[in-house]
Chains A and B, each alone.
Chain A
Amino acid sequence: MSPVALKGIGFYAPEKILTNADFEKIVDTTDEWITTRTGIKSRHIAHPTQATSDLALEASREALKQANIDPKDLELIVVGTSSSDMLFPSVACLLAEKLGAATPMAFDVAAGCSGFLYSLSVAEQFLKSGMYKNALVLGADIITRFADYSDRATSVLFGDGAGAFVLTNEEQGEEFILDLISGCDPYGTDKLLLPAGGSKLPASHDTVEQRLHFIEMNGKEVFRFAVKISETLIKELLERNHIEIEDIDWFAFHQANIRIIEGAADRLKLSKEKVMISLDEYGNTSSATVPMTIYEYWRKGRLKKGDLMVMIVFGAGLTYSIALVRWPL
């Protein structure tokens, strides 16, 4: 089996920024309330003419350019998303069209905020097996379209964005993913959901009136799950790879709420400098948080080639995933 290498990364955040001060005019809240309770100061919001595939396109172009791979040579496109342009076709197919790809296998992965790592895991298997050579993997979401702006507790959390990774399998490549664990707690399906718009509750006058097309979240339960699963997964990952927590250079957590990250970091006694943060600027961009965060740290020159990094995510499902990677760029 050939190593699977990371060849390029891309990022896109929409132009429009919504600050906490802007929110003070929309719902009954204050900058101080939002900052202390979530760690979020601003978020980027997609333009009304943009759909998720448009965000994905911008991030993909950048990643492909860096990887020096022509879209026509892509054999696999996997998009982790919870906010596809429409129920079908998938964002991956719409993206393939916009990129001018040839005939890649293209599909979305529905794993809530864990979508990016689930997608990475799927793509890696196709490349490892030798079935495909080049893959484009994304986390892309316009999750704010499903945020209830009359609810001050949840609406402030979300932002829009996309992050893209280009992976190839090549004899001389450096292995990017050293280990990966994913799973789902099927008893948490009612903790975080978007109730209507699917086959169970198709859009109707009633579903609109009852505001069932917005995200519903049991914040307390999700918080409890996220903190505990983060601690459990990091310990398991370290143990089965025979490494110490001090050996890890970076922790890229899903950027949902600063208190989840701090809760997990406290329990594991992680040093603050190693915990990557981007939610202050971008909020929770659903499946895009991890690739966007990593891109931002890379762009600022903070990542060194060879750094050991842990990516860890959790989301609707309740799904979770953790990856141990060696940074190659």
Chain B
Amino acid sequence: MNEQEILEKVKPVIADKLGIGEDEITMESHFINDLGADSLGLVDITMALEEEYSMEIPDEEASKLVTVGAMIEYIKNNAK
């Protein structure tokens, strides 16, 4: 799967968890600054994506995934 395909799959998850529109979400979006997430919102998204892609994102890694692009890069490299 390439980044664009992953983006299309994660968009509805992020939109649902943060209560925003999918059109607001781009590769460059910063979860906290652009999409209005707080720490629990980020955990919520992380947990949903862990399930979707059957992987574990350790907290120290998760804290670095501050943009949608970084999250997608991580999924691309670690999804099973």
- Asked if A227 and B47 sit within 8 Å, CB to CB, the answer is yes
Evaluate contact between A220 and B47: CB separation under 8 angstroms: no
Q: Which residues of A contact B39 (CB under 8 A)?
A: 219-220
Query: Across the interface, which residues of A come within 8 angstroms of B43, CB to CB?
Result: 220, 223-224
| Chain A interfacial residues counted at CB < 8 A | 11
- Contacts of A227-245 to chain B: CB distance below 8 A: 227-228
Residues of A within 8 A of B42 (CB): 220
Cβ–Cβ < 8 Å partners of B1 in chain A: none
CB contacts (< 8 Å) of A227 on chain B: these are 47
Report how far A228 CA is from B47 CA in the complex, Å.
9
CA distance A210 to B46 in the complex (A): 33
Whether the Cβ atoms of B59 and A37 lie closer than 8 Å is no
Question: A262 — nearest CB in chain B belongs to which residue?
Answer: B44
Which residues from B are CB-within-8-Å of A259? 40, 44
Closest to B42 in A: A220
Majority-rule SS of A interface residues: helix
| Closest A residue, CB atoms, query B16 | A266
Write the chain A residue with the least CB distance to B38: A37
A197 contacts the other chain (CB 8 A): no
A259 to B59, CA, bound (A): 19
- For residue A221, which residues in chain B have a CB less than 8 angstroms away from its CB? 59
Determine the distance from Cα of A220 to Cα of B39 in the docked complex, in whole angstroms: 7
Q: Which residue of B lies closest to A263 (CB)?
A: B44
A220→B44 CA distance, assembly (Å):
9
Residue of chain A at shortest CB distance from B39: A220
Interface string of B42-71 (1 = CB under 8 A from A): 111001000000000001000000000000
In the complex, what's the smallest C-beta–C-beta distance from B60 to chain A, in angstroms? 12
Q: Counting CB contacts under 8 A, is A257 at the interface?
A: yes
User: Could you say which residues of chain B place their CB within 8 Å of the CB of A263?
Assistant: 44, 47
Please give the distance in Å from B73's CB to the nearest CB on chain A.
21
How far is B39's CA from A219's CA once the two chains are assembled, in angstroms? 8
In the assembled complex, the Cα of A157 lies from the Cα of B47 at a distance in Å of 23
Give me 19 A-to-B residue pairs in the complex whose CB atoms sit less than 8 angstroms apart, sorted by A's number: A37-B38, A37-B40, A219-B39, A219-B40, A220-B39, A220-B40, A220-B43, A221-B59, A223-B40, A223-B43, A223-B44, A224-B43, A227-B47, A228-B47, A257-B40, A259-B40, A259-B44, A263-B44, A263-B47
